Amino acid sequence: MSAPRILAVDDQPENLELLGALLGDEGFDVCFAVDGVQALEEVERSSPHAVLLDIMMPRLDGLEVCRRLKGARPTCFLPVLLLTALSDVESKVRGYDAGADDFLDKPFHRVELVTRLRSLLRIRALRDELDTTEGVLVSMVELLENRDPRRRRHSLQVASLAAGAARRAGLTQRELHDLVLGAALHDLGKLGVPETVLLRGEEELSAEEAALYRSHVEIGPRILSPIESLAGALAVVRHHHERLDGSGYPDGLAGDALPPSIELVAAANALDAAHRAGGDGAALLRAEVGRGRFRAATVDAVLAAATTQAEPEPLENLLPVPVLEVGGAILVADDNRTNRQLYRELLEQHGFEVHLAASGEEALAIHERTPLDLLILDVRMPGISGEEVCRRVKAEPESSYLPVLLVTAYEESGARLRALDAAADDLLIAPVNRLELVARVRSLLRLKLYHRDLVRHEQVVLSLSAALEAKDAYTRGHSERVGELAARLAGELGADAARIERLRTAGLLHDIGKVAVPEAVLNKPGVLDPHEWAQVKAHPEIGYQVCRRLRSAAPVLDCILYHHERRDGSGYPRGLAGEVIPYEARLLSVADAFDALTSERAYRPGLSSRGALDLLARETAAGRWDASIVEALFALAARGGADLRG
């Protein structure tokens, strides 16, 4: 694993030399800039993992550099640690207001600098370990576009038009965020609509077919619902066919019940759909205003956005920089009642919800039962000290990123290092300056933005599985059985728990590329022609391309890509043979083949378990399958563990 890259920015060469030597000794890869302009250029060129930034510099000072980095979507999550010889409170407050994640006075202690830097990198690493909503979004849209390439970039075009209109209409950053995500995914539910319906215009559909088409606005939210970070976008996905006069679907929203953000997406969708059908989209929208289906201001905003936009903007440009919501729940623990009340008055005055504890024991009890956003802990309390409370909170995986401020009335030697050793995010000396405290609290709460749009592994898998089920319920049943059988086979062969779970996930996702294969080909009762067979053979590669940008899917990418390779080299898509085929892909392919052989298909009846095992035995003797894996399948079947159909 490569060393974290740190950009050190200072106009004094001796300071850069010191930082380079110090951080180099700690295993960091250090790059340098001598002023603010060069710093911005270096960020774009080398994509550092964190920035150490001096405030007082020529051309562009550190505060402005920080402000620009935090104000741009591509760099807003880049950790910034300000270093300055200015120790006054006003400078710190200005630094935090500019978006800085941390602040150190010069001369700084080597251990403190490294510890604070590693803390910021640890927070940043969570984004590197988990998927972001943006990455999942791109993969979901790709699934949809692979289904119907004729509508390629339609979803992004609608998102781009709606975002441009939303900026003109003055929507908030949070409303804009949900609008962009919802607009980019508004048609995802069409994965569950039969292609025979999608290939015709709505006016050509029977009543039953029209109901099937309209079901896409309900299928989409079902696919996306496991992804918590998309919760705000689900209403856009469900209601993008609603109209102001109540004539839309699925819920017949009317008047003020139709939010302006959703109306913007609905108008943008109608405009682009009309253009793709060869019609006059602007005339259509104005006619809809005359019928009372859209507000004139909504249509004006969408048409104005269309005149300035030839091509849809990239998704990363559409999503706004996250904005921290006002408030948050803060626990204050101090054995001095007067101090507790002073903290409460100050923090409540600035919109925070405050919980008070008189001891370390009480603080831990409140932490266990109450969702908190930040802890302020007095270091010296009877019983369990503030440092120990901090240590215990940070040791729990689910709260390891919860910000903790320690406060001490004694500026003794070693207090700051002990606080860092307890994993505290900062140590303040009492009496605490009120402006500095509020600025530091807001700065630490801003770290929540690093995590807000992260998507956990199980959420991604559930949504991709739901997308596959929307395409073909049979495929979902097959994928679940393959995952379970592969997991059981792995257990039979002595695999550890991590590999067993990985193979279960691989089974759920191995056929995700079939979303792009036409239903008529998948369900054809006769022999496939060469072109149709080529479409089927493309599904492992398509699945790999869809999932490769998802960190959650990274451990099973080989299984997705290679589950149709065969030991004798007769498989696809790469024609690999023997031990070159990854072991887990070989194991999954046996589970996949057994379930496919025992399943009813449009072109053949399913075999019995015995018949499938006998066929696999003959093919193994001919060199097609890994003999040890097939042997494990026989052992599993002998105990009744291979038949998953109940």
Concatenating the DSSP letter of every residue in 161-211 gives HHHHHHHHHT--HHHHHHHHHHHHTTTGGGGGS-HHHHTS-GGG--HHHHH
Reported residue count of the chain is 646
pLDDT per position as a tens digit, 91-132:
778 888 888 988 888 877 787 788 888 888 887 887 887 888
pLDDT per position as a tens digit, 499-521:
999 999 999 999 999 999 988 88
pLDDT value at residue 414 = 63
Comparing 330 with 115, the larger pLDDT belongs to 330
Q: How do the domains of the chain map onto residue ranges?
A: 5-129, 133-318, 329-445, 457-638
Report cis status (omega within 30 of 0) of the bond before 605: no
pLDDT per position as a tens digit, 538-566:
999 999 999 998 999 999 999 999 999 99
Distance of CA 421 to CAs 23, 112, 221, 395, Å? 19, 10, 45, 12
pLDDT value at residue 362 = 96
Distance of CA 119 to CAs 55, 340, 437, 454, Å? 21, 28, 20, 19
Distance of CA 262 to CAs 118, 211, 218, 254, Å? 42, 22, 15, 12
What's the predicted TM-score (pTM) here? 0.84
Query: In terms of Cα–Cα distance, which of 178, 170, 211 is closest to 192?
Result: 211
**CA 617 to chain CA mean position, Å:** 43
**pLDDT band at residue 348 under the 50/70/90 scheme:** very high
pLDDT value at residue 87 = 65
How many helices and strands in the chain, by DSSP H and E?
31, 12
Which burial class, exposed, middle or buried, applies to 174 when counting CB atoms under 10 A from its CB (0-12, 13-18, 19+)? Answer: middle
Contacts of 64 (CB under 8 A, 6+ apart): 36, 98
Report cis status (omega within 30 of 0) of the bond before 403: no
**Strand bridging mode 454-455 / 131-132:** antiparallel
Amino acid at 555: P
Q: Which CATH architecture has domain 457-638?
A: Orthogonal Bundle (1.10)
Under CATH, what is the fold of the domain 133-318?
Hypothetical protein af1432 (1.10.3210)
Superfamily of domain 329-445: Response regulator (3.40.50.2300)
pLDDT value at residue 439 = 83
pLDDT value at residue 189 = 94
267: pLDDT strictly greater than 80: yes
Q: Specify whether the CB–CB gap between 240 and 182 falls below 8 A.
A: yes
Q: Specify whether the CB–CB gap between 242 and 248 falls below 8 A.
A: yes
- The answer regarding whether domain 5-129 maps to CATH 2.60.40.1180 reads no
Provide mean pLDDT across the span 181-188: 95
Q: Specify whether the CB–CB gap between 190 and 148 falls below 8 A.
A: yes
Q: Specify whether the CB–CB gap between 451 and 126 falls below 8 A.
A: yes
pLDDT value at residue 311 = 82
Q: Is 99 left (phi over 0), alpha (psi -120 to 50) or beta?
A: left
Residue 614 main-chain phi, psi, to 5 deg: -65, -40
417: pLDDT strictly greater than 80: no
